[in-house]
Structure 1
Amino acid sequence: MSEDDALNTPVMRQFAEVKTQHPDSIVFFRMGDFYEMFQDDAKDASLLLDITLTKRQNQIPMAGIPYHAAEGYIARLLSAGRKVVVCEQVKSDDPKAKIMLREVVRIITPGTVVEDHLLSGYQNNYLSVFWQEKNTVYLAFADVTTAELVYFYYTATEKEKIKDTIERFSPKELLYAETSKQSIPELGRDRQLILTPLLPEFLPSDKQTGAQVLVHVLDCYLKYNYRQHNFSFKSPRLIDESEFLGLDERTISHLELVENENNKNHTLFGILNRCTTPSGKRYLRQRILFPTRNPEMIRSHWDKIEILISGKKERIQVQTKLSEMIDMERVLARFRGGKASPRDMNGIQKTISAYGSVKETLDTIAFPFADLSKELVLFGTLLEERVFPGELPVFLGNSPFIKAGYSKEYDLATLAKEKGKDWILELEEREKKESGLSSLKIRYNKILGYFFEISRMQAKDAPDHFVKKQTLVTGERFTSPELEEKERSILEADEITERIEKEEFDFLIAEALKSFPNFLQMATEVASLDYHISLTQCKEEYQWIRPEIREDGKMILTDARHPVVEAFLPLGDRFVPNSLDLDPKEDSIAILTGPNMAGKSTYMRQVAINQILFQMGSYLPIKSASLPIVDRIFTRIGSGDNLTTGESTFFVEMKETAYILSQFTENSLILFDEVGRGTSTYDGLSIAWAIIEFLSGNFPRPKTIFATHYHELTELEKGKGIFNLYLDTFEKEGEVLFLKKVKKGKSKQSFGIYVAKLAGLPKEVTERASNILLGLESKKREIKVRKEEPLLFGNLLESTLPGKSVSEERILKKLKNLSINSIPPIEALQILEELSRWSKEKE
C-alpha cells in the first residue's frame, strides 16, 4: 500500500480533518484503549514523551499511549510548551455506520488547565490577552483556576513596561490578534510562553472596546477549549500601577525573590513560606511580587501580625484547622470545567466546618475575619443531609455517595447491590433443600441472566414453579418468579444508584456554583489569614522587628540583615548586620567600594529585600528601621549576552542602565553593581562617573547605592548628595580577613589577586599579577604627584607669556575652572600629555 492509499482511509480522513482545524496542537486520537498520534504529531510525541515510534500500514508514522495513562503524558507535553487536542470516539446516529465517529471534546493548553496534577499549588496559572487599539495596548491576566481577572493599559510605545508586567505575572499562554503581533515585546530567553493567535470568530465586534474586548476574547477562547462548559470571572479590575511597588523582571531575578536556579528554597518566597494552604502560598507569592504603596494597608498587616503574636495558642489551633481545608478556588474551577470528583464534596464539607471553627477561635483574640455567608452555611447543611458521611469515591459508582435514609429508592438499590449475592445463595440453598435436587445450581450469563441449572437426569423432577428457559446436552435451565424478581432488583440496582448519584452530584455542583462568589470570598479570607500567620512565624523564628513608616523620604536601616543568606549560613557562622542612612536632600547616593567577596552585593540586596518586606507589611530582620514608601526598585546587577538578538554583555548592561535612568523618580531605590565593567577601563570609569553625576543632579535625589571597583569614583564624595561607604577588611602577613562590615569612607584596595589565589589560579600567574600591579600602582602614584604640576605650570604661563595660542588658551581656561581635587585622573592625564607636547614645541 502506498502512503497516499494509507492516508485515504476513513480513519485517517477523520484524523486529517481534526488536524487541519488544529495545526499547532498534538492530536490525541482515540482508538479503542489507546490515544494514537500520527505523522508529525507522532514524531514529536515520540521524542517528547520517550515512546516508541511505529508506522500504520507500514507508511504513516504513529505513536500511542494507553488512554488511562493520558494525564501524565499530557502534563509532559504542556511543560514542553505544546497544546493537546483530545479527540474521543462517539456513537453514530447512523445504525449502518461502519466506523466510530470521533469528536474533539477538549483542547488542553498551558493557560486553560484546571486539573490539579497539571498545576502548581503555590503559583497562579495565568492566561494573558494582548490587545491593541490604535496607540493603546490592553493587557489582561486571567487565572481560570481562581477566577481572577485583572488588566492594564499602556501606550504602544511603553514596550518596557508591557514587558515588565508580562514577566512579573509569568503567564503560561498569551492570546493575541495577528494585527498586533509586532507590538508584543520580546521576552526573556528563559520565559516559556505559548503565543496563541486568535481565530477570526474570537475577534470582537466594532462596538466592543477596552475591557469589553478582553472579556469577550477570554469567553470565546474558553468555550472553544472546553466545548460544553462555561467559565466566569470576578469583575475585571483595572490595575493602577501606582498602587504597587514597581519591580521589573531583572530586579525580581537579581534579588531572587521567587526563583533561584540552584535551589528553589533559597529565595525570599522560600524563607517566608510557612503557609498551610495552597491559596495562602499563592497569596504570599503575589504579595512578594506586588508589594503595596498604601501606608494604611502596610500598618494593617503589622497590626494583624501583632494580634497573632499575642494569640500564639489560638494561632496554633487555627493552623490545625487550615490544614483540613481544601483549595476551594481550584476545586470550583474543576467544577466549572467538568472535572469534579465526588470526593471534592468531602473536602468542601470539611472546609466549611473548619472555617466556622477558625472564625470562633479568631473572635476570641479580635482578629478580623469575615463571617461564613448564609449561602455557604446552607450548602454545608445540604451536604450533611445528602452526602455519605464516610470517605467518598474518586468516581461515582466505586462506593456509596448518598447518605443512607435520604432516598428510599437509593437505599433499596444499594441493598440489592450489597446483598444480591447473598440473596442468590440463600435462594439456591432453599430450592435445593425443598426439591431434593442435589445438582441444582443458580448460574448467570449475559444472555440469559440468572437461571437454575439442573442435570439432565434430575431435570424431570424440577419443581412446578420452575419455568424452562434452555435445554442443553448436559442438563436443563429454568427460572422462577422469585428468581426473576431478585434478578430485576440486582440488575436494576446499578442503574438506579448510578442515576440517583449522578442527579444528586449534578445538583450539588450546580448549587455550589450558585454560591461561587461566596466561596471565592471565603478562599480570599483563608489565604490572607494564612499569609499573616506565615509572616508571624518568620517574625518569631528569626526575631524580626516591626519598622516605622516615615514621610520625609529618608531611609534608615540599623543593623539590617539579608533574611535568605542568614537562614542558610553554615552552622556556627553569624551574619554580620549593617546599617544604612540615605537622605534624598543630603546624602542620597552611596558609592560602595570594597574587595571581591567582601559582601557588597549581599549588602545591596539586603537593602532592597528589606524594603520589599516593609511594603509587604512584614516585620524585618533589623535592630530598627524607619523607611519611606518607594515607588520603584531598580537593580543593575550581573549581566549576560542576549545571543538571540546579537547583543553583547556590555550592550545589555547599557540598555538596562538607560532604562533605569529614564524611569527613576525621586522616590525610587536604585542599586548599581559594577556598571561599566564590560568595556575599557577609561570608558567604563567615565560612564560610571557620568551616571553618578546625572543622579546627583536631580533634587530630591533617588536613593542610590553604587557599588564599584573604580576607586577613582570616591573622589565624587565632595559632590552634592554623594558619600562613600566601604566593606572593611583586616590584613596580616599576606592573609586577608573579610569583615563584612560596612563603614563610611573608601576601601584600601580590591584584593583581587588574593581572591584569584583563593580560587585556585596557578601560583606563577598570581605572582606575575602582583608584580604587574606594583608597576601599575607606581605609575599611578607618579601621575598623582604630577597632578598639581599643570596648574602651577599653567599659572606661570598665564603670568609670563604675552601671547597664547588657541590650544594654550583652552588648556588654561579648563585648568582655571577646575579645582585640583575635582579633576578626574583620566582628564588630568590628558592635560599633562597636552602640556608636555606644548612645552616640547616651545622648546
Structure 2
Amino acid sequence: MSDKDDRPALDLDKAAQQGFVAFFRSLPAKDATTLRLFARKASSHGGGDFYSAHGDDALLIAGEFFKTSSVLKHLGPASNPLPGCTLSYANFQQLLADALLNRGWKIQIWHSTGRSANQWQLAREASPGNLQQVEHNLPDSAWLPTAAAPAPDPVLVAILIQDDEQPASTSASSQAAASTTRHVGVALANASDKTLALAEIHDTDQLAHLEALLIQLGVKEVLVPTGVTDARLSTLLDAATVVTTRYSVDAFKSPPAATALHRLLSTATPPAAADALIATHPLAGRALGAVLDFLDLATDRHAAHQFSLTAHHVGGAMRLDQHAVAALNLVGDGARKSTHLYGLLNKCVTGAGSRTLQSWIRQPLVDRAAIEARLGIVEALVDDAAVRDAVRDWLTQAPDVGRLGMKLRKDRATLADVAALYRLVARLPDLRPVLVDDPSSTALADRYAALLDQIEVDLAPFSEKVTETLDLDEWGDHNDVRIRASLDPELEELHAQMAAAREEIEPEASRVAGILGLELGKVVKVDQSAIHGHHLRVSLTHSSLIRQKKKDLIELATLKSGVLFTTPALRAVSNKLTDLAGQYDTLQAAMVKEFMAAMQAYLPTFTTLNDTLSELDVLGAFAHVSVHAPTPYVRPTLNDEGRVHLPNLRHPCIEMQDLVQFIPNDATLGRGESAFQIITGPNMGGKSTYARSVGLAALMTQLGCFIPTDPGATLPIFDAIQCRIGAGDQQFRGVSTFMAEMLETASILRSATPQSLVIMDELGRGTSTYDGFGLAYAIAHYLATVVKPAATLFATHFHELTTLAENVQGVVNRHVVAHVDEEGGQGITLLYKVADGAATHSYGIHVAKLAGFAPRVVALAQAKADELERAASHGGSGGKKRAREEEDGAVELARRIAAEVRDVDLSTPDAREKVERIRKRYAAAVNGCPRLAALVGGAIVGGAIVGGGEV
C-alpha cells in the first residue's frame, strides 16, 4: 500500500477534534489484532467516501501497510494528541484483504449515527471466517489464490468437545494404536458457498482427526465456548494458525430452532433431512446453533432458502496434520513457487482451478476408484498433447464461474457478469468434441461427455432468456450490456438518442486526427473509461503534438498506454452519453432486478459447471507438470498388499531448483519384510530428502497425479501421512525443541494405524545422548511391534538404533552412502545414494571438517569422541555381552508389564486403580533395571504409560 498525494484529509475543526478524541478514548478495550475503522463522508477532498483509523490502529496501519509515519496526523490537544491516518476507498479495500485473508485479523467498521459529529455506532464486523458484511468491499484480486494468500473462502467451524470413554473402533490394532477418549462435535459453515455441514468425531486424546479436518477444509476461524479450557485444543489451534474466537457458551447449549433452520435451507436439503441430521449429530447440532448465531443468519434476508446442510464424512480423505503439511512443504510461503508442492503443481489456467488444487492438496483421496479415475484422465492428457493443449486453451478463455455465481447469489452481479456466463455457455459445444473424440483414450469421454451434455440441456433456457432480454449487440459494439430497448418504448427512445450521440464521435475524432496529421484508428484511437468517458489516445511518442495544440486539445492523463486527451466538442458528447446512460439505467432498474432473480434459478447448474471445469483444469495442470518435468513423471499403480516400490524416486521440488542435478534412489517397503526402515548416515547426506520424497510420491498418487519415478512404481493407499521432521523451538508458546518433538511424536504414536505412512527424523535431540537414544529406541520399537505393519521411514543419528533390525521382524537398515577420505583434506564426500545395511559409523566429525572447522577443533573433537567410545566399551566383549543381556531383560520385563496392562478393561470405573497397582508391583523391578528406565520411562509401551500410572 502506498501513500498518495491525493490521500483524503480529515477536516475537523478544533471542537470536533476534541469531541472525537473524547469519544474514541471512551471506547472499551479490544484485542490487539482487531482494527477499528471509521467510515467518513466525503467533504472537501472530493474523492468519495473514505475511512480513518486512530490510536494504536493508526500506528499499526502506518507501519505495516503504508510503511511510513508520514501518513500520521494528530488530533486533539498537543499535550496528549491522538494519532490517526486516513485511507482512500482503494486503500481500504487493500487493507481489508490483507488484514482478513493474510494476517488473520478482525475488522470493526464504525458509522456516524448522524445525530452528532462525534456519535458513532458499530455497524459492521468481519473476521477471517465471516466475510459477509465486507465481501462486497474486497478487491477482485483478493479472490485469486496464491501460496502466500490462500483462496478466501471463509470456512468457519464451531467445536464442542466432551469426554468419551468408548473407543472409536473395537479392533485390536486400533485400540493399540490409539485410546479414544474425546467426543468432538463440529459444525462447519461457508457463507460464500452457502454450505453448512455437521460432523461428530470419536477422536484420540491428541485430537488427531480434528486436526486433519481443520487442515483439509482450510478453516479460517474456530468458535469455542467462552470459559471452556482445553490445553490440547489450544495447542492444536495455535499450531494450525487459525483465528480462535471465544463465543458465548449459551450459544452452544442447543441446536438451532427448527423453524429458523428450515428458513435457511434450499430445496437441496428438505426439512425432514435436516431434522434427521440434527438428531443423529446432537453435539454438532449444538455447535451449529453457535455458528448461525455468530453469522447472524437468522436475520439475514439474503440467507433465506440459500444454504444446504450435509453430514461431513471425516474419513473421506487422507489425514494430514500440521506437521506433515510443513514437513512436506505442501503450500510453502509464496516466496519461490517451485519450492513447495502447490507452487509446483499450480499450472492451472483459471482461478477456480487454482482454488480446487489448493483444496485437493489438503484432502488427498482414499477411495481407490476415484484415484484411478483421476489418474486415467491425466494419462489421457499426457498421451495426447493436442487434446491437452486444446483443453487448456479453451479454459484460458473461461471466466471464473465460481465467483460470478457467488456475485449472482448475493445480488451483486451485473448484466455484464451474466453476459460473461452466456458467452461461456455458448462456447461449451466447442469443448465437448475435444474431450469426446480423443481416439487414444475413453477416460475423458467417460467422465465428461454425459456431464457436459446434461449441463448444456439444463442451461439452454438460460441462454434463451439472455438473448431475449439483453442487447448483446450493444455489448459487442460498446462493451455496455443493457436490457433490450425493444422491450420498452421509453428505452427505445433513449437508445435512439444514444445512437445519434455516438455518431458524433467519429467525425470529431477524424477532425482531430487531421489537425495532428495522424491516422485515425492506428495512431489516434477512440477510447472509453469510467473516469474520463469517451476520449482520444495517442502513444507517448506523439505526446509533444498534443501539448503543441493546447488551445484545441485538453490533456486528461499520461499513462503507459499513451496520452489521453479530449476536445470541448467530444467532452460535450461524452457528457451527453453519460447522462443518457444514467436515464437508461434508471428506467431499466426494475427489469434488471426481475431478470437477475430469474437467473438465480440456474445457480445449481453453474455450480456443477464450475466444479467440472476446475477439475479439468487441475488434471490438465497435472498432465502439464508430468510432461514438462526434467524427467517426465509416470503413472503409479495401486496395490492392496501394502507394498511401496518407487524405482529411481526423485524429490519433485528439489529437482526443479537451479543448478541442482538430483540423484534418484529406489524406495522399497514391503509389509512384513521391510515396512520399517531405519536410515542412518551423515547429516546433509540426504536422509530427510529421501523420506520426504516417499511421502510426496504417496500424496501425489492419492491426488491423482503422476509421480517422479521410473516406470513400475506401485503404492498402497495410505489413510494418513504423519511426520516428525526438524522440530524447532516454539518460543511464543513456551515450547522447547525437545518438548515440541515429544508432543508431535506422542500424537503420531496415538493416531498411527497399520495403513499410515510414518516419517520420523532425528528423534532425541535436545536432551542427553542416553535419554535421547532411549526415547528413540522405545518409539521405534513401539511403531515396529504395535502399530505394525505401518510403513515407517525412521531417519536417525543414533547408529546404535540399527540393532533393532536384529530383534524385530520387518525392520531393515538402510543408509545414505558417504565416501570417507582420511587423507584427502575434505574428509568426506556425500554421494546422496541410499543403500542397504547400516552406516558403518557416525560421520559427525567428518561433516564438521567438510563445513570448514579449524583443524585443532576437529582434532580435539576426534580425541574426545575416542575417549568416550573407549569408556563406553570398557570390558571388551564381556561388557558388550552384559549390555545385550541387560537390553534383553529390559524388553522382557516391559512385555510382562504391557501384557498385564493390556488385560485391564479400560471401560470399568476402577481401571486406573488396577493400572496403578500394576505400576506399584513392578516399581522395584523397573527401578532396578536402568536399561528399562532408559527405554520406557514415561514412554508408551503396549498401550500404557509405564511410570506415570496413566492409561
For the criterion TM > 0.5, the same-fold answer is: yes
**Structure 1 CA distance for aligned equivalents of residues 352 and 76 of structure 2:** 47
1:661 aligns with 2:744: no
**Aligned partner (choices 38, 55, 62) of residue 75 of structure 2:** 55
Deviation at 1:505, TM superposition (A): 3.8
Deviation at 1:303, TM superposition (A): 1.6
**Aligned partner (choices 455, 463, 475) of residue 380 of structure 1:** 463
Write out aligned runs for 1:647-726 (5 A).
647-698=735-786, 700-719=788-807, 720-726=809-815
1:473 corresponding residue in structure 2 = none
**Aligned partner (choices 282, 285, 292) of residue 358 of structure 2:** 285
Amino acid corresponding to residue 253 of structure 1 in structure 2: A
The answer to whether the Cα contact below 8 Å between 1:131 and 1:180 also exists between their aligned partners in 2 is no
Deviation at 1:533, TM superposition (A): 1.0
**Structure 2 CA distance for aligned equivalents of residues 673 and 813 of structure 1:** 28
Q: Structure 1 residues 101, 225: closer, same or farther in 2, change over 3 A?
A: farther
Amino acid corresponding to residue 72 of structure 1 in structure 2: Q
SS at match of 1:586: coil
1:248 aligns with 2:258: no
Deviation at 1:768, TM superposition (A): 2.4
**Structure 1 CA distance for aligned equivalents of residues 369 and 461 of structure 2:** 36
1:477 corresponding residue in structure 2 = none
1:27 corresponding residue in structure 2 = 37
**Structure 2 CA distance for aligned equivalents of residues 816 and 354 of structure 1:** 72
Write out aligned runs for 1:503-518 (5 A).
503-518=590-605
1:65 corresponding residue in structure 2 = 87
2:156 corresponding residue in structure 1 = 128
**Structure 2 CA distance for aligned equivalents of residues 791 and 607 of structure 1:** 35
**Structure 2 CA distance for aligned equivalents of residues 40 and 382 of structure 1:** 53
**Aligned partner (choices 237, 240, 243) of residue 194 of structure 1:** 243
My pick for the range that moved more, 413-422 or 750-759, is 413-422
Q: 1:349-394: CA deviations, max 9, x gaps?
A: 332233332223212124121122444232233334444547969x
The answer to whether the Cα contact below 8 Å between 2:145 and 2:351 also exists between their aligned partners in 1 is yes
SS at match of 2:714: strand
**Structure 1 CA distance for aligned equivalents of residues 377 and 778 of structure 2:** 46
Q: Structure 1 residues 564, 766: closer, same or farther in 2, change over 3 A?
A: same
1:110 corresponding residue in structure 2 = 128
1:401 corresponding residue in structure 2 = 482
Q: 1:502-522: CA deviations, max 9, x gaps?
A: 334433432332211111111
1:744 aligns with 2:825: no
Write out aligned runs for 1:292-331 (5 A).
292-331=365-404
The answer to whether the Cα contact below 8 Å between 2:255 and 2:287 also exists between their aligned partners in 1 is no
Deviation at 1:670, TM superposition (A): 1.1
SS at match of 1:265: helix
1:835 corresponding residue in structure 2 = none
The answer to whether the Cα contact below 8 Å between 1:632 and 1:668 also exists between their aligned partners in 2 is yes
Amino acid corresponding to residue 142 of structure 1 in structure 2: A
Deviation at 1:213, TM superposition (A): 5.0
Deviation at 1:529, TM superposition (A): 0.8
Deviation at 1:251, TM superposition (A): 0.8
Gaps of 5+ in 2: 1-12, 43-48, 164-182, 258-277, 508-572, 895-928, 935-951
2:342 corresponding residue in structure 1 = 269
2:944 corresponding residue in structure 1 = none
**Structure 1 CA distance for aligned equivalents of residues 53 and 459 of structure 2:** 45
Deviation at 1:591, TM superposition (A): 1.1
Write out aligned runs for 1:303-452 (5 A).
303-365=376-438, 366=442, 367=444, 368-369=447-448, 370-371=451-452, 372-389=455-472, 401-402=482-483, 405=486, 407-417=488-498, 419=500
The answer to whether the Cα contact below 8 Å between 2:16 and 2:118 also exists between their aligned partners in 1 is no
The answer to whether the Cα contact below 8 Å between 1:535 and 1:618 also exists between their aligned partners in 2 is yes
Gaps of 5+ in 1: 427-485, 795-809, 819-824, 831-843
SS at match of 2:816: strand
1:174 aligns with 2:197: no
Q: Structure 1 residues 376, 201: closer, same or farther in 2, change over 3 A?
A: farther
**Structure 2 CA distance for aligned equivalents of residues 348 and 562 of structure 1:** 41
* Percent pairwise identity: 24
1:614 aligns with 2:701: yes
Deviation at 1:600, TM superposition (A): 0.4
1:84 corresponding residue in structure 2 = 107
SS at match of 1:186: helix
**Structure 1 CA distance for aligned equivalents of residues 388 and 313 of structure 2:** 34
Deviation at 1:661, TM superposition (A): 1.4
The answer to whether the Cα contact below 8 Å between 2:404 and 2:417 also exists between their aligned partners in 1 is yes
Deviation at 1:289, TM superposition (A): 1.5
The answer to whether the Cα contact below 8 Å between 1:132 and 1:180 also exists between their aligned partners in 2 is no
1:159 corresponding residue in structure 2 = 207
Q: Structure 1 residues 205, 140: closer, same or farther in 2, change over 3 A?
A: closer
The answer to whether the Cα contact below 8 Å between 2:723 and 2:760 also exists between their aligned partners in 1 is yes
**Structure 1 CA distance for aligned equivalents of residues 84 and 286 of structure 2:** 41
2:657 corresponding residue in structure 1 = 568
1:119 aligns with 2:143: yes
Q: Structure 1 residues 67, 133: closer, same or farther in 2, change over 3 A?
A: same
Q: 1:433-452: CA deviations, max 9, x gaps?
A: xxxxxxxxxxxxxxxxxxxx
1:797 corresponding residue in structure 2 = none
The answer to whether the Cα contact below 8 Å between 1:30 and 1:87 also exists between their aligned partners in 2 is no
The answer to whether the Cα contact below 8 Å between 2:683 and 2:844 also exists between their aligned partners in 1 is yes
**Aligned partner (choices 27, 36, 39) of residue 52 of structure 2:** 36
The answer to whether the Cα contact below 8 Å between 2:425 and 2:456 also exists between their aligned partners in 1 is no
Q: Structure 1 residues 586, 609: closer, same or farther in 2, change over 3 A?
A: same
**Structure 2 CA distance for aligned equivalents of residues 603 and 260 of structure 1:** 22
Q: 1:288-339: CA deviations, max 9, x gaps?
A: 2111111111111122122223442122112111111122222222334454
**Structure 1 CA distance for aligned equivalents of residues 470 and 637 of structure 2:** 52
Q: Structure 1 residues 354, 770: closer, same or farther in 2, change over 3 A?
A: farther
2:510 corresponding residue in structure 1 = none
**TM-score, normalization by structure 1:** 0.76
The answer to whether the Cα contact below 8 Å between 2:212 and 2:321 also exists between their aligned partners in 1 is yes
The answer to whether the Cα contact below 8 Å between 2:17 and 2:75 also exists between their aligned partners in 1 is no
Amino acid corresponding to residue 416 of structure 1 in structure 2: Q
**Structure 1 CA distance for aligned equivalents of residues 844 and 220 of structure 2:** 43
**Structure 2 CA distance for aligned equivalents of residues 311 and 816 of structure 1:** 61
My pick for the range that moved more, 133-142 or 709-718, is 133-142
**Structure 2 CA distance for aligned equivalents of residues 280 and 791 of structure 1:** 59
Amino acid corresponding to residue 663 of structure 1 in structure 2: S
The answer to whether the Cα contact below 8 Å between 2:726 and 2:761 also exists between their aligned partners in 1 is yes
1:551 aligns with 2:640: yes
Largest Rg, 1 or 2: 1
**TM-score, normalization by structure 2:** 0.68
**Structure 2 CA distance for aligned equivalents of residues 579 and 13 of structure 1:** 71
